[in-house]
Amino acid sequence: MAYFSAFGDEFPLEIVTDVLGIEPTETYKKGDIIESSTNPNLVSTKIRRRKKTDWTLSTGYQESYDINNQLNPILKSLEGKTEDLKQLKVKYGLEFLFMIVIQIENNEKPAMYLQKNIIDFSSLIQAEIVFDLYIFS
């Protein structure tokens, strides 16, 4: 799975959606309650809340042997929106993040490299790129 996230303290999610002309796959606001685990054995009395407001565009989990297969569709959705993203970043104090979540099963590892277009776009909008790796045996 790969996703692009625009996050910050508090900002109008609907304006980001309107400016970019893209429907996010997930949003939440600072202070929203984080859903607790569905595992009945894990009972928590503490209510956890979101610390940031977040607008996310995600591929969801897909079977793939190359992370660029997930990153490129997200990049294509954001194509031509560099200036809009920069303006949103300044106006609302946003941070941008590309997250690549990799689940390895049966020792079948995907190609893990970033194509130049992804690096260039991330640099233009000052986005971080983060990898989250889970290995299942």
* Ranges of each domain in the chain: 18-30+70-95+117-126
| Stated length of the chain | 137
What does the pLDDT look like over 48-71, one tens digit per residue?
999 999 999 999 999 999 999 999
And the tokens for 10?
A: 């508090």
Please name the amino acid found at residue 30.
Answer: K
43 falls in which pLDDT band (50, 70, 90)?
A: low
pLDDT of 45 above 90: no
pTM of the model: 0.88
Residues 6 or more apart whose CB falls under 8 angstroms from that of 18 comprise: none
Looking at residue 136, its pLDDT comes to 87
% residues pLDDT > 90 (the chain)? 81
